[in-house]
């Protein structure tokens, strides 16, 4: 019987710096039956250059890129509340850190999982900091070559840190025809590890197909409304669609079946009616 994939509702920065929105998204993820919610953590002044942060950018928080990035970032007060709230909802949470300071910040919560974002896959210093924790780590492989994935896998294997690769296409939103889900089997064969799928498409069919092809984890961005402010919103599933996706994926083991050729009582009744035996 097929094993249920681990389903991750990526909140990321779709909370727009609003703790109430974050809690609403946690509520939806828990109600849908997701296994975990995921956030993103950055030390803004270290991830981005001063020139980049000073660049003009209109947002709900001001007119510079710095104001936009800082407006989207949660700190200790918010994550303390998120930690308690997720425990109350009986759902795991974790985050993808974009710098070492953020990874160290996350350690205080003793999270069960880590995540390497596709953008960070070649940051060897960060990968080593994550791998030394020896927590189960999901590694997204978007916009990466085999050689880059080889190097990342080597870090985790040398550290004896359990991991799972995630096939990913890092376009936002991704066109269905760019999904290339055949990579799930290719990654599994090349690296002899579990392989999940992290999707940035607008609909549900690609993620459902990935689960049917044996992806051991499914990660999707979720949002209350795709028209909300934010670069990730267009590549997200609205919570009602996420709810439907989880329901469909949870039905897959029964749909896939055991592979044994058997005749059910219902089919035998039809056989008797149509064949007379």
Query: Which tokens go with 93?
Result: 């949470």
How many percent of the chain have pLDDT more than 70? 100
Q: For the ranges 7-21, 168-182, 188-202, 262-276, which has the lowest average pLDDT?
A: 262-276
What is the average pLDDT score of the chain? 97
| Calpha distance 85→91 (Å, rounded) | 9
Q: Give yes or no for a contact between 39 and 45, defined as CB atoms under 8 angstroms apart.
A: no
Res. 1: pLDDT tops 80? no
Alpha-carbon torsion (187, 193, 194, 198), positive or negative: negative
Res. 265: pLDDT tops 80? yes
Averaged over 255-259, what is the pLDDT? 92
Res. 277: pLDDT tops 90? no
What are φ and ψ of residue 115, in 5° steps?
Answer: -140, 135
Helix (H) or strand (E) holding 274: helix 265-275
Structural domains of the chain in order of their starting residue, each with its CATH number: 6-275 (3.20.20.70)
**Kindly report the CA angle at 215 between 117 and 256, in degrees rounded to 5?**
160
C-alpha distances (whole Å) from 263 to each of 128, 201, 214, 272 are 53, 39, 25, 12
Query: Which tokens go with 135?
Result: 């927590």
Cα–Cα nearest to 211, from 7, 35, 1: 7
pLDDT tens, position by position, 123-163: 999 999 999 999 999 999 999 999 999 999 999 999 999 99
Helix (H, G, I), strand (E, B) or coil at 94: strand
pLDDT tens, position by position, 221-232: 999 999 999 999
- The pLDDT value given to residue 123: 98
- The pLDDT value given to residue 30: 98
Q: For the ranges 1-5, 97-101, 104-108, 167-171, which has the lowest average pLDDT?
A: 1-5
pTM for this predicted structure: 0.96
- The pLDDT value given to residue 276: 87
Q: Distance from first CA to last CA of the chain, Å, rounded?
A: 30
pLDDT tens, position by position, 24-46: 999 999 999 999 999 999 999 99
Q: How far, rounded to the nearest angstrom, does the alpha carbon of residue 29 sit from its chain's CA centroid?
A: 12
């Amino acid at each position: 019987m097929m094993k249920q994939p681990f389903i991750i509702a990526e909140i990321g920065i779709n909370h727009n710096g609003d703790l109430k929105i974050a809690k609403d998204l946690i509520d939806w993820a828990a109600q849908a039956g997701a296994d975990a919610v995921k956030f993103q953590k950055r030390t803004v002044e270290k991830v981005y250059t001063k020139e980049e942060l000073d660049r003009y950018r209109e947002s709900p928080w001001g007119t510079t890129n710095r104001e936009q990035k800082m407006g989207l970032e949660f700190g200790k007060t918010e994550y303390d509340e998120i930690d308690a709230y997720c425990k109350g909802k009986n759902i795991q949470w974790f985050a993808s850190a974009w710098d070492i300071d953020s990874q160290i910040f996350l350690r205080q919560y003793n999270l069960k999982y880590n995540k390497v974002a596709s953008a960070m896959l070649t940051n060897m210093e960060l990968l080593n900091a994550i791998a030394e924790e020896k927590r189960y780590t999901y590694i997204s492989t978007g916009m990466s070559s085999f050689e880059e994935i080889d190097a990342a896998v080597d870090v985790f294997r040398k550290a004896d840190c359990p991991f799972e690769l995630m096939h990913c296409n890092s376009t936002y939103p991704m066109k269905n025809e760019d999904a290339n889900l055949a990579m799930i089997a290719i990654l599994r064969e090349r690296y002899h590890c579990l392989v999940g799928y992290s999707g940035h498409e607008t609909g549900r069919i690609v993620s459902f197909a990935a689960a049917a092809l044996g992806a051991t984890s499914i990660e999707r961005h979720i949002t209350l409304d795709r028209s909300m402010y934010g670069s990730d919103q267009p590549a997200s599933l609205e919570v009602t669609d996420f709810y439907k996706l989880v329901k469909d994926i949870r039905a897959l083991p029964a749909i896939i079946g055991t592979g044994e050729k058997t005749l059910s009582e219902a089919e035998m009744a039809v056989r008797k009616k149509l064949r007379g035996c």
